[in-house]
A and B are shown apart, each in its own frame.
Chain A
Amino acid sequence: MTAKLQLIGIKKKLRGRQVLDGVDIDVAAGRSLVIIGGSGQGKSVTLKCALGLMKPDSGQVLVDGADVTRMPPEIRARVMRKFGMLFQGGALFDSLTVWENIAFRLIYADKVKRPEARERAIEAMRKVRLATEFADVRPIELSGGMQKRAGLARAIIAKPDILFFDEPTTGLDPITADAINDLIVEMVRELGCAAVSITHDMPSARKISDEIAMLHDGRIVWRGPTSSLDASGNAMVEQFVAGRADGPIQAVV
């Protein structure tokens, strides 16, 4: 199957430290890849390089086979329209109402008229099961779970080809986290898009992924189907999944 998104040999140094040291991942349409790994191992940097928010020192980011790291900004901006992203903290704009947040791309990038954009935002709110009575309130008035739902609605409204999730369940209670996981699975299936998530929440990783890759010391040290996670044969994966302090990975405290 052709990869929708492919990262080849991505290297990135930050403040003198080699954060990514040749990361290779690929994900096809309709598939969901979750990258797991400890704090400070480069998961967020990988996502930022894939999204174009950070320029890798070397390596390629291919979207539908085209290398976006070497594209001029205006063409790259067009490729960005294939992306949808759910940020860890929601990253909703404080100055706008919930529906304006959700419809931001439609209004400001796609130049959709406001009445139509509002209608589509309300429809997206229904999809993520966020009560439409919150359409006209500011994000600050929403709970953490509601903010995630609003962020998810914003990510899916333009029907992206590739969805990114940054720690989608962090800071949520287990029931709300599970509801968000269900929504992610449902949205990825409905849109038929490729999904890349980073998390260290193992129940979430198991639920939303088809495949799991483990990032350690700036490299992918293991990758396989979610069903084979418990029989990975990799000591680092086993330690991480079991949540043990003793093993090849040294806890950073």
Chain B
Amino acid sequence: MINPFAPIGRGLIGLLGEIGRFSAFAGRAAASCFAPPLFVGQFLRQCMAIGYYSLPVIGLTAVFIGAALALNIYVGGARFNAESFVPNIVVLGITRELGPVLAGLMLAGRVSAGIAAEIGTMRVTEQLDAMTTLSTDPFKYLIAPRVLAATLTLPGLVMVADIIGVMGGYLVAVNSLDFNGAAYLRNTFNFLETQDVVLGLVKAAVFGFIIAIMGSYQGYNSSGGALGVGRATTNAVVGSIVLILAVNYLITAFFVE
């Protein structure tokens, strides 16, 4: 007789095993970031690839989100005669939530997929094995520089996204909603608190870590040629997005409480 609970149990055991393997990988990767040797050249190259080259996509996302947010808040606020709160809610929404989350999601697509594809291809073409036989630990040469670069550059990107997002809201508010420019900016800066920005930057650093780790994990464990690399890339993006959204809630709840 077929036990109906068997597939559920198998799935649960598989999930727990995957969580365990991922945690062990993340721990080893984190430890590699602090143990010498640090490959400075690789780290700087990754800062350029992950941070600098992501600026256009982050900037474009932020300006449109800021603009749309201002419009929506204006419409919603009008129902309560609270249109004047547009600058306050735009800056709060951007710095605490939308800046880090959208930057994280954009980078999950751009960076996590790229890392998974690159390391995955190296795995299936035996380049990772070759690196090990050349007395170089792939965790230190490949993974640690990517994890460090993503963790350190994402807060910088989010800072840029915050500024551009607020600017997007400002442009719409002043040009379409008849707000006074000086008053809009005064309200924005008077309302903004340090902890709002700090919360966003903490989230950004954690999301950067997640993005790099997930991409590296999926790539490092890929197998089965082009199909395996494709699967690793998809898993890296989906895994990063789910983890970013879940961790975003946990960090927000922690700061609110």
Interface residues, chain A, CB within 8 Å of chain B? 48, 51-53, 77, 80-81, 83-85, 87-89, 91-94, 104-105, 108-110, 154, 164
Q: A91-B125, A108-B39, A108-B141 are in contact. Are A85 and B136 (CB under 8 A)?
A: no
How far is A85 from B122 in the complex, measured between Cα atoms in Å? 16
- Chain B residue contacts of A48, Cβ below 8 A: 129
- Chain A residue contacts of B137, Cβ below 8 A: 77
- Chain A residue contacts of B23, Cβ below 8 A: none
Q: A89-B126, A108-B39 are in contact. Are A51 and B133 (CB under 8 A)?
A: yes
- Chain B residue contacts of A80, Cβ below 8 A: 132-133, 135
- Chain B residue contacts of A85, Cβ below 8 A: 130, 133
Can you list 23 A-B contacts with CB-CB less than 8 angstroms, sorted by A residue number? A48-B129, A51-B129, A51-B133, A53-B129, A77-B135, A80-B132, A80-B135, A84-B133, A85-B130, A85-B133, A87-B129, A88-B126, A89-B126, A91-B129, A92-B127, A92-B130, A93-B127, A94-B121, A105-B134, A105-B135, A108-B39, A108-B134, A110-B135
Fill in one digit per residue for B70-92: 1 if any A CB lies within 8 Å of its CB, else 0.
00000000000000000000000
Is A104 within 8 A of B134, CB to CB? yes
How far is A94 from B135 in the complex, measured between Cα atoms in Å? 18
How far is A108 from B138 in the complex, measured between Cα atoms in Å? 11
Q: A89-B125, A91-B125 are in contact. Are A109 and B130 (CB under 8 A)?
A: no
Interface residues on B, range: 10 to 19
How far is A88 from B125 in the complex, measured between Cα atoms in Å? 9
Q: A89-B125, A91-B126, A93-B127 are in contact. Are A53 and B132 (CB under 8 A)?
A: yes
B64 smallest CB distance to A (angstroms): 34
Chain A residue, CB-CB nearest to B126: A91
Is B133 within 8 A of A53, CB to CB? yes
B29 smallest CB distance to A (angstroms): 15
- Chain A residue contacts of B39, Cβ below 8 A: 108
Is B136 within 8 A of A109, CB to CB? yes
Is B127 within 8 A of A104, CB to CB? no
